[in-house]
Structure formats: C-alpha cells, structure tokens
C-alpha cells in the first residue's frame, strides 16, 4: 500500500509535519490502496514561503517562456495516459471512458493556456484610447501573486488544470491542495514539474484534509488569492477566511441545473442527452442537469425512453471496458445520496426507476440510477444538490412555465435546452440564469468558453480568457505627453 506522507515543496519531497494518516480507498473493491498525510499548518507555511521566493523570477519571465512549461505539462500528461486513466478509475470509481475524457480535457487546458500566455506578451503596455488630450495611458496585466488552489474529488486532473494552467500562465506561483479522497492522480503533477525543470517553488503540492491543509491555506497571510471548487458550506468558510484579509477569491460551488425538453423534441434523442447530463460520473458533477422539465405532450414518451436506457446501463468494475457506470467515489458520498433516497420514500415520490428495479453489484459504493417523476417544487430532492445518479422530473405546459421553474433555484451554474426550433431554444437559453447553457447537446465544456455560475453557484469564472484574467491584476501607467 502506497504511503503519501511527504509534501512537494520547493521541488523536493519533504516529510509532512502532520502525524495523522487518512485512508485512500478503491471505491469498487472497498479497500485501502494508499495512506495520505492529513497535513499540518507548518506544511502550508513552508509551501507558501517557497512560492513567495519563486514569485519574482517566475513573474519576470515572458508569457512565451511560461507557455513552454505549460506545453510540457500537457506532453507529460499525454505520455502517462494509460497510467493516469487507470489510476483515476481506481481511485475515483469513474469508468475508463470517462477517465480518458477527463485526461483529454486537462491536456487541452494546459495547451490552451500556453497560447493565452503567449498572447499576454502582445497585450502588455497597450495604449488606452482616451478622450483627454495631452495624456497617455498604457495598460499592463500583472500576476496577482501567490495563489492557493483547492480542488475537489470528482474531477481531479480536470479541476487542477482549470486552476493551475491559467495561474502559471499569468505568472503566479501556486500551492495546490488536491482532495484527500482522490490524491493519487494529481500527484503526477509534481513528478512532471520535476521532469520538465519547472523552477523550484513555482508549484507546491500539499496533501491533506481541510483541518490540516485547506483551512490554514485559505487563511494564510502569504496567499494573495484562493481558488476553490467544492461544496457551498466549505466555499463559504473559504470566502470568510479570505475576507478577513481582503484577499481575492474565486469560488465554483454547487449546482441544481435544469434540462428543458420542449414538445417539438425527438424523445429518443432527448433521452440520450438527458442521460449524459445526469448519469455521467455516476451523477457526481456540479453541472449535473438533475431537474428535468419536460413538456407534458411528450412526458410519457420521454420517461419511457429514459427508463429503457437506465435499464441498459451496466454497473460494475470501472476498469472493465464494458462498464457504463462505476461506484460513487466514497462511502460518505454513497451515504449522502442514500439519505436523499430515504427522503424520497418519506415524501412518497413516484419512481420511474430506482433501486427496486435493479440488483446492484455485490461490492462497491454503488447507488442505483434513479428517476422520479412529478416531483413537487418544495421537495428536498428538487431543491438540493444530491451529487449522485438521481434525476427529478416535472412536466410543464408552456415555454414560460419551463423558464420560470428552471430559474426558481438557489443555483445557476448550467442548463440544457432541447427543442427542434433552434431560435426558440436560443430564446429559452438567453432567459435562463446559468453560466453555461447547452442547446440540443450533451455537456460540452471547452477551454475557450467560460465556466462559472450565477447566485449560489459561485464567484468568478474559470476557463477562457476569463480564467486567465482571474489571476491577473490590471495596472495603468498614466503620464502627460
């Protein structure tokens, strides 16, 4: 069993100051595959000090010089494809096909921000158009400084790429904390950093939990910005810690995203898109379209088509090419989802499919994919993020009703609209309070387009030029001519 009791600080693996150990589980075999340190605040102090020492030289490099390192990160990940996809499946429980998609997304992100770093060189010192005569102003973009990056367990390599790639492109140095639940995939980032000669202290990787690493990192006075992806409860604590020293913060938090299917849609095609939006990664997706709003004219046909597809899903070993859905990532997450299913029983919700329709594998943290119809708007399952393979549905009688119900949520991360009328689909999409809206599609997350949400779904945007801007501070030099 692998023991991860060292931290990657200043390009060296050094023993953690923490004495507690946490088990890293294989969620399918239900056995420990590693132990990881819980970390210690002293580890954070050392990592932040290393990042601060590295900052002046790193920020002084040109964008093109930093881009070369990002390209080599992408190449390093590409070389390890087989190792990383199997490691992700083993540690996270996601099937191999999904692990491959994740790796492709991470590689594309590093390459995209290599291009953004090069473009940054061209933007520095541009003249600002002024109405005032006799004055000249030039605009510069400086890195915000040392950043703390805290990533979740559902998409380890992806979310670390979304944060680390733009941070390094901008000229920031970083302290990265992976989730203690899935630390194994992101460990490779430290190995790649060493292989490509990344200057010491530019990337520091700390293993640990919230008490050992997360909270001390968020509150550290040497951290200029925190970027966090995870639950609203923890995100609010991170924001509070940052607010005490007026530090910059980006938060990507919860979601309860709608998928709207209008009466002119093809039920069979719509069913495929519905399935992709909720059962990918066993429903452990912040953007999961877990609220289905279907026009009553095709509701029965759509429920039937989704039910047939749920029945056809193969649950099992995520390392098997034949598996469609693996287990949930942790026993704690399985218990959380089972708690919602108990609420569904108490509320008397009508199941089109649930555990009574399927025999689960004898091992693994599995939850049967479920679909509940005619779910009341005041149900906890309709209002709260479940983070599992549970879809709640309601029928609607009009476009306007669909929009109103879709927007009646505390969250606004994403949405999907399905209609044969493209103009109508775009009209609905523009009316939705969501950061990303997919039209007649599965969820396509591209490095060029922004990611983030409205309301309680977070603060700021990742990906695209907005992701780079999150790690830059604007400076103007103004002088008389």
| CA separation, residue 374 to residues 101, 348, 349 (Å) | 33, 11, 8
| Residue 329, number of CB atoms within 10 A of its CB | 25
Distance CA(398)–CA(405), nearest Å, equals 11
Q: Which of these, 320, 325, 390, 377, lies nearest to 351 by C-alpha position?
A: 390
Phi, psi at 383, each rounded to 5° = -95, -30
Task: Order across the sheet with 2-4: list the strands.
Answer: 2-4, 31-37, 21-26
Residue 48 exposed, middle or buried by CB count within 10 Å (0-12, 13-18, 19+): buried
Token pair in block for residue 78 = 């590409």
Active site residue 462: no
Alpha-helical regions (H) of 280-398: 299-312, 331-347, 380-383
Q: Which of these, 208, 182, 178, 181, lies nearest to 190 by C-alpha position?
A: 178
**How does 70-87 read in b/e, with b if 16+ C-beta sit within 10 Å?**
bbbbbbbbeebeeebbeb
Considering the candidates 109, 172, 286, 392, report the single residue annotated as catalytic.
Answer: 286
Instruction: Kindly give the pairing relationship between strand 31-37 and strand 2-4.
Output: parallel
Which residues neighbour 188 within 8 Å (Cβ) at sequence distance 6 or greater?
Answer: 76, 77, 80, 83, 84
Q: Which of these, 407, 458, 410, lies nearest to 437 by C-alpha position?
A: 407
DSSP labels, 174-198: EEEE--SSS-HHHHHHHHHHHHTTP
Token pair in block for residue 326 = 């693996």
Tell me the HSE value of 178 on the side-chain side, using a 13 A CA sphere: 31
| Residue 344, number of CB atoms within 10 A of its CB | 22
Active site residue 377: no
Distance CA(296)–CA(91), nearest Å, equals 41
- The H or E element containing residue 204 is strand 203-205
Considering the candidates 98, 180, 186, 252, report the single residue annotated as catalytic.
Answer: 252
Instruction: Kindly give the pairing relationship between strand 146-150 and strand 225-229.
Output: parallel
Which residues neighbour 166 within 8 Å (Cβ) at sequence distance 6 or greater?
Answer: 113, 116, 462, 467, 468, 470, 471
**How does 183-192 read in b/e, with b if 16+ C-beta sit within 10 Å?**
bbbbbbbbeb
Question: Which residues participate in catalysis according to the annotation?
Answer: 252, 286
């Amino acid at each position: 069993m692998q023991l991860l009791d060292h931290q990657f600080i200043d390009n060296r693996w050094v023993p953690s100051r923490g004495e507690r150990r946490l088990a890293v589980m294989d969620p399918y075999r239900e056995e420990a595959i590693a132990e990881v340190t819980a970390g210690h605040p002293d580890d954070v102090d050392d990592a932040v000090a290393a990042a601060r020492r590295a900052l002046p030289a790193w920020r002084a490099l040109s964008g093109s010089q930093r881009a070369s390192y990002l390209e080599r990160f992408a190449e390093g990940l590409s070389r390890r494809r087989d190792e990383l996809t199997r490691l992700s499946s083993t540690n996270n429980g996601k099937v191999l096909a999904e692990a491959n998609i994740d790796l492709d997304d991470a590689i594309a992100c590093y390459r995209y921000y290599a291009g953004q770093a090069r473009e940054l060189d061209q933007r520095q010192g541009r003249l600002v158009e002024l109405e005032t005569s006799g004055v000249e102003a030039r605009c510069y973009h400086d890195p915000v400084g040392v950043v703390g990056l805290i990533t979740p367990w559902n998409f380890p390599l992806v979310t670390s790429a979304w944060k680390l790639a733009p941070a390094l492109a901008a000229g920031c140095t970083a302290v990265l904390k992976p989730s203690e639940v899935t630390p194994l995939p992101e460990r490779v980032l430290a190995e790649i950093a060493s292989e490509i000669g990344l200057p010491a202290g530019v990337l520091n990787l700390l293993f640990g939990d919230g008490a050992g690493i997360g909270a001390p990192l968020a509150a550290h006075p040497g951290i200029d910005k925190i970027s966090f992806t995870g639950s609203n409860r923890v995100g609010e604590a991170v924001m509070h810690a940052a607010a005490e020293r007026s530090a910059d913060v980006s938060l990507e938090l919860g979601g309860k995203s709608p998928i709207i299917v209008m009466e002119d849609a093809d039920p069979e095609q719509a069913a495929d898109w519905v399935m992709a939006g909720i059962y990918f990664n066993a429903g452990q997706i912040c953007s999961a379209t877990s609220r289905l709003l279907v026009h009553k004219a095709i509701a029965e046909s759509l429920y039937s088509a989704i039910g047939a597809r749920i029945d056809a899903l193969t649950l099992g070993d995520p390392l098997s090419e034949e598996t469609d859905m693996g287990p949930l990532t942790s026993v704690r997450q399985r218990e959380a989802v089972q708690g919602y299913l108990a609420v569904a029983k108490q509320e008397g919700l009508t199941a089109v499919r649930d555990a009574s329709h399927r025999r689960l594998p004898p091992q693994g943290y599995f939850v049967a994919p479920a679909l509940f119809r005619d779910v009341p708007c005041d149900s906890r399952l309709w209002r709260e993020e479940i983070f599992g393979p549970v879809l709640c549905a309601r029928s609607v009688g009009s476009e306007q009703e669909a929009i109103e119900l879709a927007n009646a949520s505390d969250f606004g991360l994403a949405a999907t609209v399905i209609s044969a009328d493209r103009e109508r689909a775009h009209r609905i999409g523009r009316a939705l309070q969501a950061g990303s809206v997919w039209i007649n599609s599965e969820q396509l997350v591209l490095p060029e387009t922004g990611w983030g949400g409205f309301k309680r779904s977070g603060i700021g945007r990742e990906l695209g030029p907005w992701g780079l801007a999150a790690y830059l501070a604007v400076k103007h030099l103004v002088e008389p001519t």
